[in-house]
Amino acid sequence: MEVIVRNGCGVDVHKRTVVACLRWIDPGGQLHKETRTFGTVTQELLALSDWLSEHEVSHVAMESTGVYWRPVYNILEGQFELLVVNAAHIKNVPGRKTDVADAEWIADLLAVGLLRGSCIPERDTRELRELVRYRKSLVRDRTAEVNRVQKVLEGANIKLSDVATDIMGKSGRAILEGLIEGEDAAEALAELSKGRLRNKREELAQALQGRMGAHQRFMLRELLGHIDYVNQTIERLESEIEERQRPFEEEIERLKGVPGLQERQARVVAAELPDVSRFPTAKHLASWAGLAPGNNESAGKRKSGKITQGNPTLREALIEAAWAAVRSKNTYLSSMYRRLAPRRGAKKAIVAVAHSMLISIYYMLTRGTDYIELGSTYFDERHHLHTKNRLVHRLEALGYQVTLEAAPAAA
């Protein structure tokens, strides 16, 4: 095969060591290979960088799982053309697997152009992603703590959630503080309610008659303290995220024009999406995000076409926004969901809606345009003949004889 990369290096990355195989062709056309092992501390990685520079390496491909590729990438970034490749795509011959053999195999594949690197964004985007994903994990931790509060209340025979929609709202929080302070009178606790919940004080008093023990008060105090701490951390993270995304406010405002995309989801999408110009088409972006159906066909039979893993954070944000979009009225996305859900199921239909949203976002960002609402009648107008025949067949199935006559043209 034709050699594309004359001076390249394949790197097999592990937690404590990296095995690098340098492959180069001298001016006389002679092939040379040299393999060395380096540590993963910064000093060792700088030595790896110097070694590659001495041999005028242009491309470096590395195989890694987890996050072990990041230290190597941080040191080599900006000096060489870097490719982080999926280990599942470059499996070596079974029974001949060693770290040295893996590094040499990566170098050989790199030389003939058979490696496809993962989409690695710039350092600023990677840092922003870490903040966004950490915020998501903290929100999940907060939800878990709120569920634990609910379990403690159930253990004390207190049915606050049966009356109050949000036990962590102003009324719920005031009642929880009263319980922590040792208040046992249900009527007195019900008087702590605020707003519209005061109209349910009698029902609330019945729900607050329980058996609150000392250990349950202690647990409530600790849980609420942890929830407050997590809330403060989330607020600081949101401030940092907004500050880092200030140069992209115009793009975020454009994303908020898509039905279902609120402020938070728009910021997540803006953080997770790399430069969309890297993707030749919108289909490539959908596949990278994990919102495109997979291909699984053998002997002419199509098997499960479930979506791939892709980018979980981006996919979750778009699916969450899709659930909100399908509840809107007289929109293209809600009409699309109603057409697909009866025959494909709600979950597959919502993934299709999220896919459509991502396709729209791709064209919005590449063309610099706002979202264009096609309307709920788009499918009927596009498939006028199909719609007419479908409705006629449905009426005939009900026992009617249908004769169609075109309406006179409007004056």
Percent of the chain with pLDDT over 70: 98
pLDDT recorded at residue 409: 65
Residue indicated by tokens 């951390």: 233
The span from the CA of 252 to the CA of 269, in Å, is 9
The span from the CA of 389 to the CA of 396, in Å, is 10
pLDDT recorded at residue 181: 92
- Each residue of 273-305: pLDDT tens digit? 988 988 999 999 999 999 988 777 777 777 777
Does residue 141 surpass a pLDDT of 90? yes
Classified as helix, coil or strand, 241 is helix
Phi-psi domain of 329 (left: phi exceeds 0; alpha: psi -120 through 50; beta: other): beta
- Each residue of 360-370: pLDDT tens digit? 999 999 999 99
DSSP-assigned letters across all residues of 75-132: HHBTTBEEEEE-GGGS---TT---HHHHHHHHHHHHHTT---------HHHHHHHHHH
Does residue 222 surpass a pLDDT of 80? yes
Tell me the pLDDT of the chain averaged across its residues. 90
More confident residue, 129 or 405: 129
The span from the CA of 360 to the CA of 371, in Å, is 7
Radius of gyration over alpha carbons of the chain, in Å? 29
Is residue 75 within 8 Å of residue 91, measured between CB atoms?
no
Average of pLDDT values for 51-74? 91
Does residue 386 surpass a pLDDT of 90? no
Q: Which two tokens stand for residue 404?
A: 């169609």
Domain limits, the chain: 7-111, 124-244, 249-295+306-367, 378-405
Does residue 410 surpass a pLDDT of 60? no
Does residue 1 surpass a pLDDT of 80? no
The span from the CA of 239 to the CA of 55, in Å, is 45
CB-based burial of residue 360 (10 Å sphere; 0-12 exposed, 13-18 middle, 19+ buried)? buried
Q: Which of 76, 52, 56 is nearest to 64 (CA)?
A: 76
pLDDT recorded at residue 95: 66
Q: Which two tokens stand for residue 135?
A: 């915020």
Does residue 146 surpass a pLDDT of 80? yes
More confident residue, 93 or 2: 2
Classified as helix, coil or strand, 363 is helix
Confidence of residue 350 (pLDDT cuts 50, 70, 90): very high
- Say which residues have a Cβ less than 8 Å from residue 387's Cβ, sequence separation at least 6: 379, 380
pLDDT recorded at residue 271: 94
- Each residue of 8-34: pLDDT tens digit? 999 999 999 999 999 999 888 899 999
How many H-runs (helices) and E-runs (strands) does the chain carry?
Answer: 17, 7
Confidence of residue 154 (pLDDT cuts 50, 70, 90): very high
Whether the CA torsion 240, 244, 250, 255 is positive or negative: it is: negative
Superfamily of domain 7-111, CATH level 4: Ribonuclease H-like superfamily/Ribonuclease H (3.30.420.10)
The span from the CA of 70 to the CA of 288, in Å, is 20
pLDDT recorded at residue 240: 96
Is residue 318 within 8 Å of residue 337, measured between CB atoms?
no
Classified as helix, coil or strand, 357 is helix
The span from the CA of 69 to the CA of 251, in Å, is 30
Q: Which two tokens stand for residue 148?
A: 């634990």
pLDDT recorded at residue 361: 96
Average of pLDDT values for 137-162? 94
Q: How far, in whole angstroms, is CA 220 from its chain's centroid? A: 33
Identify residue 122 by its one-letter amino acid code. Answer: E
Return the H-helix or E-strand segment holding 22: strand 17-25
Q: How far, in whole angstroms, is CA 74 from its chain's centroid? A: 23
Average of pLDDT values for 198-222? 92
Does residue 338 surpass a pLDDT of 60? yes
- Each residue of 73-112: pLDDT tens digit? 999 999 999 999 988 777 766 667 788 999 999 999 999 9
